[in-house]
Structure 1
Amino acid sequence: MATDHGGEGPRWLSPAEKEAWTGLVSLILLLPGRLEAPLHREAGLTLFEYLALSHVSEAPERRLRMSELAFLANGSLSRLSNVVKRFEQRGWVRRSPDPEDGRYTLVALTDAGFEVVEAAAPTHVRSVLAVLDPLTAADQQALAQIAAKLRVRPADLG
Protein backbone atom coordinates (compact mmCIF):
# COMPACT_ATOMS: atom_id res chain seq x y z
CA MET A 1 0.00 0.00 0.00
CA ALA A 2 1.41 3.38 -0.93
CA THR A 3 1.87 5.83 1.91
CA ASP A 4 2.74 9.49 1.91
CA HIS A 5 6.14 10.52 3.33
CA GLY A 6 5.47 14.01 4.60
CA GLY A 7 4.41 15.46 1.26
CA GLU A 8 7.13 13.68 -0.72
CA GLY A 9 4.60 11.60 -2.63
CA PRO A 10 3.71 7.94 -2.43
CA ARG A 11 6.07 5.27 -1.18
CA TRP A 12 6.89 2.79 -3.96
CA LEU A 13 8.03 -0.78 -3.65
CA SER A 14 11.75 -1.35 -3.30
CA PRO A 15 13.27 -3.81 -5.79
CA ALA A 16 13.25 -6.54 -3.09
CA GLU A 17 9.61 -5.78 -2.18
CA LYS A 18 8.63 -5.80 -5.86
CA GLU A 19 10.34 -9.17 -6.37
CA ALA A 20 8.61 -10.63 -3.31
CA TRP A 21 5.23 -9.23 -4.38
CA THR A 22 5.58 -10.46 -7.96
CA GLY A 23 6.48 -13.92 -6.68
CA LEU A 24 3.48 -13.98 -4.35
CA VAL A 25 1.08 -12.83 -7.06
CA SER A 26 2.45 -15.50 -9.41
CA LEU A 27 1.81 -18.16 -6.76
CA ILE A 28 -1.71 -16.89 -6.13
CA LEU A 29 -2.58 -16.85 -9.82
CA LEU A 30 -0.79 -19.96 -11.11
CA LEU A 31 -0.99 -22.55 -8.33
CA PRO A 32 -4.78 -22.98 -8.20
CA GLY A 33 -4.84 -24.06 -11.85
CA ARG A 34 -1.95 -26.46 -11.37
CA LEU A 35 -3.76 -28.04 -8.43
CA GLU A 36 -7.25 -27.99 -9.96
CA ALA A 37 -6.64 -29.27 -13.49
CA PRO A 38 -5.61 -32.82 -12.48
CA LEU A 39 -8.43 -33.02 -9.91
CA HIS A 40 -11.00 -31.96 -12.47
CA ARG A 41 -9.63 -34.29 -15.13
CA GLU A 42 -9.27 -37.38 -12.91
CA ALA A 43 -11.95 -36.92 -10.23
CA GLY A 44 -14.41 -34.42 -11.71
CA LEU A 45 -13.88 -32.06 -8.75
CA THR A 46 -12.83 -28.45 -8.50
CA LEU A 47 -10.07 -27.61 -6.04
CA PHE A 48 -12.64 -25.90 -3.79
CA GLU A 49 -14.87 -29.01 -3.82
CA TYR A 50 -11.94 -31.28 -3.03
CA LEU A 51 -10.74 -29.04 -0.20
CA ALA A 52 -14.24 -28.92 1.30
CA LEU A 53 -14.60 -32.71 1.22
CA SER A 54 -11.04 -33.24 2.42
CA HIS A 55 -11.36 -30.90 5.42
CA VAL A 56 -14.56 -32.59 6.55
CA SER A 57 -12.91 -36.02 6.11
CA GLU A 58 -10.09 -34.96 8.47
CA ALA A 59 -12.37 -33.47 11.15
CA PRO A 60 -13.35 -35.40 14.28
CA GLU A 61 -16.30 -37.68 13.45
CA ARG A 62 -16.05 -36.28 9.88
CA ARG A 63 -18.18 -33.26 10.94
CA LEU A 64 -17.50 -29.51 10.81
CA ARG A 65 -19.43 -26.31 11.23
CA MET A 66 -20.18 -24.73 7.88
CA SER A 67 -18.50 -21.47 8.97
CA GLU A 68 -15.28 -23.27 9.88
CA LEU A 69 -15.35 -25.27 6.66
CA ALA A 70 -15.81 -22.06 4.64
CA PHE A 71 -12.67 -20.66 6.28
CA LEU A 72 -10.65 -23.85 5.79
CA ALA A 73 -11.68 -24.18 2.15
CA ASN A 74 -11.10 -20.43 1.64
CA GLY A 75 -14.60 -19.66 0.41
CA SER A 76 -17.68 -17.71 1.41
CA LEU A 77 -20.55 -19.33 3.28
CA SER A 78 -22.83 -18.76 0.29
CA ARG A 79 -20.41 -20.45 -2.12
CA LEU A 80 -19.92 -23.33 0.30
CA SER A 81 -23.67 -23.65 0.82
CA ASN A 82 -24.18 -24.12 -2.93
CA VAL A 83 -21.43 -26.74 -3.11
CA VAL A 84 -22.71 -28.58 -0.03
CA LYS A 85 -26.22 -28.61 -1.52
CA ARG A 86 -24.81 -30.41 -4.58
CA PHE A 87 -22.88 -32.78 -2.31
CA GLU A 88 -26.10 -33.55 -0.42
CA GLN A 89 -27.87 -34.35 -3.69
CA ARG A 90 -25.06 -36.79 -4.54
CA GLY A 91 -25.26 -38.39 -1.09
CA TRP A 92 -21.77 -37.26 -0.08
CA VAL A 93 -22.70 -35.14 2.97
CA ARG A 94 -25.54 -34.42 5.38
CA ARG A 95 -26.34 -31.10 7.04
CA SER A 96 -27.85 -30.70 10.49
CA PRO A 97 -28.13 -28.06 13.23
CA ASP A 98 -25.17 -28.03 15.62
CA PRO A 99 -26.47 -29.59 18.87
CA GLU A 100 -24.06 -27.39 20.88
CA ASP A 101 -25.33 -24.17 19.27
CA GLY A 102 -28.33 -24.25 16.94
CA ARG A 103 -27.23 -21.03 15.24
CA TYR A 104 -24.62 -23.10 13.41
CA THR A 105 -25.01 -25.83 10.81
CA LEU A 106 -22.86 -28.93 10.79
CA VAL A 107 -21.84 -30.72 7.63
CA ALA A 108 -21.06 -34.44 8.00
CA LEU A 109 -19.31 -36.59 5.41
CA THR A 110 -21.10 -39.81 4.46
CA ASP A 111 -19.30 -43.04 3.60
CA ALA A 112 -19.95 -42.30 -0.08
CA GLY A 113 -18.37 -38.86 0.33
CA PHE A 114 -15.38 -40.37 2.08
CA GLU A 115 -14.90 -42.74 -0.86
CA VAL A 116 -14.84 -39.72 -3.20
CA VAL A 117 -12.12 -38.07 -1.09
CA GLU A 118 -10.10 -41.28 -0.89
CA ALA A 119 -10.24 -41.72 -4.66
CA ALA A 120 -9.24 -38.09 -5.37
CA ALA A 121 -6.56 -37.73 -2.67
CA PRO A 122 -3.68 -39.39 -4.58
CA THR A 123 -4.24 -37.04 -7.53
CA HIS A 124 -4.22 -34.01 -5.22
CA VAL A 125 -1.13 -35.20 -3.33
CA ARG A 126 0.78 -35.71 -6.60
CA SER A 127 -0.03 -32.12 -7.58
CA VAL A 128 0.98 -30.77 -4.18
CA LEU A 129 4.25 -32.71 -4.22
CA ALA A 130 5.04 -31.35 -7.69
CA VAL A 131 4.90 -27.90 -6.09
CA LEU A 132 6.77 -28.78 -2.87
CA ASP A 133 9.44 -31.20 -4.13
CA PRO A 134 11.69 -28.50 -5.65
CA LEU A 135 11.80 -26.78 -2.24
CA THR A 136 14.31 -27.63 0.46
CA ALA A 137 13.12 -28.38 4.00
CA ALA A 138 14.18 -24.83 4.94
CA ASP A 139 12.20 -23.42 1.99
CA GLN A 140 9.12 -25.36 3.08
CA GLN A 141 9.51 -24.14 6.66
CA ALA A 142 9.89 -20.55 5.45
CA LEU A 143 6.81 -20.92 3.24
CA ALA A 144 4.79 -22.23 6.20
CA GLN A 145 5.98 -19.32 8.37
CA ILE A 146 5.11 -16.77 5.69
CA ALA A 147 1.67 -18.30 5.20
CA ALA A 148 1.05 -18.18 8.96
CA LYS A 149 2.01 -14.49 9.09
CA LEU A 150 -0.28 -13.59 6.19
CA ARG A 151 -3.30 -15.66 7.29
CA VAL A 152 -6.43 -13.92 8.57
CA ARG A 153 -8.89 -15.94 10.66
CA PRO A 154 -12.52 -14.85 11.08
CA ALA A 155 -13.31 -13.80 14.65
CA ASP A 156 -16.11 -16.36 15.10
CA LEU A 157 -13.64 -19.23 14.60
CA GLY A 158 -11.05 -18.10 17.14
Structure 2
Amino acid sequence: MTDRELALQAWESLFRAQHQLLAEMAVDFDGSDLTQGEYDVLLTVARAPEMTSRLRDITAKSLISQPSVSRLIDRMVTRGLITKAIDPDDGRGALITATDAGAKAFRQLATVHGRTIAEKMSPLDDTELTQLLRLTEKLRGM
Protein backbone atom coordinates (compact mmCIF):
# COMPACT_ATOMS: atom_id res chain seq x y z
CA MET A 1 0.00 0.00 0.00
CA THR A 2 1.29 3.45 -0.93
CA ASP A 3 2.16 5.79 1.92
CA ARG A 4 -0.46 8.56 1.65
CA GLU A 5 1.80 11.34 2.96
CA LEU A 6 4.61 10.35 0.61
CA ALA A 7 2.16 10.25 -2.29
CA LEU A 8 0.96 13.76 -1.45
CA GLN A 9 4.53 15.07 -1.21
CA ALA A 10 5.49 13.46 -4.53
CA TRP A 11 2.37 14.86 -6.22
CA GLU A 12 3.00 18.36 -4.90
CA SER A 13 6.63 18.25 -6.00
CA LEU A 14 5.69 17.01 -9.48
CA PHE A 15 2.99 19.66 -9.81
CA ARG A 16 5.27 22.48 -8.65
CA ALA A 17 8.13 21.34 -10.90
CA GLN A 18 5.81 21.30 -13.91
CA HIS A 19 4.39 24.72 -13.06
CA GLN A 20 7.85 26.23 -12.57
CA LEU A 21 9.28 24.75 -15.78
CA LEU A 22 6.28 25.83 -17.86
CA ALA A 23 6.54 29.36 -16.49
CA GLU A 24 10.27 29.49 -17.24
CA MET A 25 9.76 28.17 -20.78
CA ALA A 26 6.90 30.57 -21.55
CA VAL A 27 9.48 33.19 -22.55
CA ASP A 28 10.09 31.16 -25.72
CA PHE A 29 6.69 32.37 -26.93
CA ASP A 30 7.31 36.06 -26.22
CA GLY A 31 7.58 37.79 -29.58
CA SER A 32 6.80 34.57 -31.43
CA ASP A 33 4.25 34.33 -34.21
CA LEU A 34 2.65 31.40 -32.33
CA THR A 35 0.83 31.08 -29.03
CA GLN A 36 1.45 28.05 -26.84
CA GLY A 37 -1.89 26.59 -27.95
CA GLU A 38 -1.06 27.05 -31.63
CA TYR A 39 2.35 25.49 -31.08
CA ASP A 40 0.69 22.50 -29.39
CA VAL A 41 -1.65 21.99 -32.37
CA LEU A 42 1.19 22.33 -34.87
CA LEU A 43 3.33 19.92 -32.83
CA THR A 44 0.69 17.22 -33.28
CA VAL A 45 0.16 18.06 -36.95
CA ALA A 46 3.89 18.28 -37.75
CA ARG A 47 4.49 14.79 -36.33
CA ALA A 48 1.73 13.27 -38.45
CA PRO A 49 2.31 11.85 -41.94
CA GLU A 50 2.11 14.58 -44.58
CA MET A 51 1.65 17.11 -41.75
CA THR A 52 -2.04 16.18 -41.58
CA SER A 53 -3.88 15.04 -38.48
CA ARG A 54 -7.47 14.30 -37.61
CA LEU A 55 -9.14 16.94 -35.47
CA ARG A 56 -10.15 14.26 -32.95
CA ASP A 57 -6.48 13.26 -32.54
CA ILE A 58 -5.47 16.88 -31.94
CA THR A 59 -8.25 17.23 -29.38
CA ALA A 60 -7.20 14.00 -27.62
CA LYS A 61 -3.60 15.21 -27.30
CA SER A 62 -4.45 18.77 -26.24
CA LEU A 63 -4.67 19.94 -22.68
CA ILE A 64 -7.69 22.11 -23.43
CA SER A 65 -11.34 21.24 -23.97
CA GLN A 66 -12.80 20.18 -27.32
CA PRO A 67 -14.74 23.44 -27.82
CA SER A 68 -11.56 25.42 -27.09
CA VAL A 69 -9.60 23.32 -29.58
CA SER A 70 -12.27 23.90 -32.24
CA ARG A 71 -12.16 27.68 -31.72
CA LEU A 72 -8.34 27.62 -31.78
CA ILE A 73 -8.36 25.62 -35.02
CA ASP A 74 -10.75 28.14 -36.60
CA ARG A 75 -8.48 31.04 -35.58
CA MET A 76 -5.45 29.21 -36.97
CA VAL A 77 -7.25 28.64 -40.29
CA THR A 78 -8.04 32.36 -40.43
CA ARG A 79 -4.38 33.18 -39.72
CA GLY A 80 -3.26 30.86 -42.55
CA LEU A 81 -1.34 28.48 -40.26
CA ILE A 82 -3.42 25.39 -41.10
CA THR A 83 -6.17 24.22 -43.40
CA LYS A 84 -9.26 22.29 -42.37
CA ALA A 85 -11.04 19.84 -44.66
CA ILE A 86 -13.74 17.20 -44.28
CA ASP A 87 -12.30 13.81 -43.39
CA PRO A 88 -13.20 11.52 -46.33
CA ASP A 89 -13.19 8.52 -43.97
CA ASP A 90 -15.47 10.21 -41.43
CA GLY A 91 -17.80 12.90 -42.74
CA ARG A 92 -18.32 14.24 -39.22
CA GLY A 93 -14.59 14.68 -38.70
CA ALA A 94 -12.00 17.05 -40.08
CA LEU A 95 -8.44 16.79 -41.36
CA ILE A 96 -6.06 19.52 -40.24
CA THR A 97 -2.99 20.23 -42.36
CA ALA A 98 -0.16 22.66 -41.69
CA THR A 99 0.31 25.30 -44.35
CA ASP A 100 3.81 26.29 -45.46
CA ALA A 101 3.53 29.37 -43.22
CA GLY A 102 2.37 27.27 -40.26
CA ALA A 103 5.13 24.70 -40.75
CA LYS A 104 7.76 27.45 -41.01
CA ALA A 105 6.53 29.22 -37.85
CA PHE A 106 6.46 25.89 -36.03
CA ARG A 107 10.01 24.94 -37.10
CA GLN A 108 11.40 28.32 -36.06
CA LEU A 109 9.85 28.14 -32.60
CA ALA A 110 10.55 24.41 -32.20
CA THR A 111 14.27 25.05 -32.60
CA VAL A 112 14.28 27.63 -29.80
CA HIS A 113 11.82 25.73 -27.59
CA GLY A 114 13.69 22.46 -28.03
CA ARG A 115 16.90 24.08 -26.83
CA THR A 116 15.09 25.52 -23.80
CA ILE A 117 13.55 22.15 -22.95
CA ALA A 118 16.95 20.45 -23.19
CA GLU A 119 18.48 23.15 -20.98
CA LYS A 120 15.74 22.89 -18.35
CA MET A 121 16.00 19.09 -18.29
CA SER A 122 19.82 19.11 -18.19
CA PRO A 123 20.09 18.65 -14.40
CA LEU A 124 18.95 15.06 -15.07
CA ASP A 125 21.28 12.54 -16.69
CA ASP A 126 20.08 10.11 -19.36
CA THR A 127 19.28 7.40 -16.82
CA GLU A 128 17.19 9.82 -14.78
CA LEU A 129 15.42 11.12 -17.90
CA THR A 130 14.58 7.55 -18.87
CA GLN A 131 13.25 6.89 -15.38
CA LEU A 132 11.21 10.09 -15.46
CA LEU A 133 9.74 9.16 -18.82
CA ARG A 134 8.79 5.68 -17.61
CA LEU A 135 7.31 6.99 -14.38
CA THR A 136 5.19 9.67 -16.05
CA GLU A 137 4.00 7.19 -18.67
CA LYS A 138 3.07 4.80 -15.87
CA LEU A 139 1.10 7.54 -14.13
CA ARG A 140 -0.69 8.29 -17.42
CA GLY A 141 -1.57 4.61 -17.85
CA MET A 142 0.52 4.13 -20.96
- Normalised by the length of structure 2, the TM-score is 0.87
d(CA) in 2 for partners of 1:21, 1:56: 31
Q: Detail structure 1 runs of 4+ shifted over 6 Å in the superposition.
A: none
Q: Which runs of 5+ in 1 are unaligned?
A: 1-11, 154-158
Partner of 2:90: 101
Partner of 2:57: 68
Amino acid paired to 1:93: I
Partner of 1:13: 4
Contact 1:42/1:120, CA 8 A, preserved across alignment: no
Q: CA RMSD in A?
A: 2.0
Q: When you count strand as a share of all residues, which structure comes out higher?
A: 2
Q: Which runs of 5+ in 2 are unaligned?
A: none
The Cα offsets for residues 11-62 of structure 1, whole Å up to 9 and x where unpaired, read as x833x323312211212322222222222x1414332221111221111011
Decide which structure has the larger Cα Rg and report it. 1
**Aligned pairs, number:** 141
Greater relative contact order, per chain length (Cα 8 Å cut-off, separation 6+): 2
Matching of residues 1-158 of structure 1 within 5 Å = 13-14=4-5, 16-39=6-29, 41-151=30-140
Contact 1:53/1:113, CA 8 A, preserved across alignment: yes
d(CA) in 2 for partners of 1:151, 1:45: 28
Amino acid paired to 1:94: T
- Normalised by the length of structure 1, the TM-score is 0.79
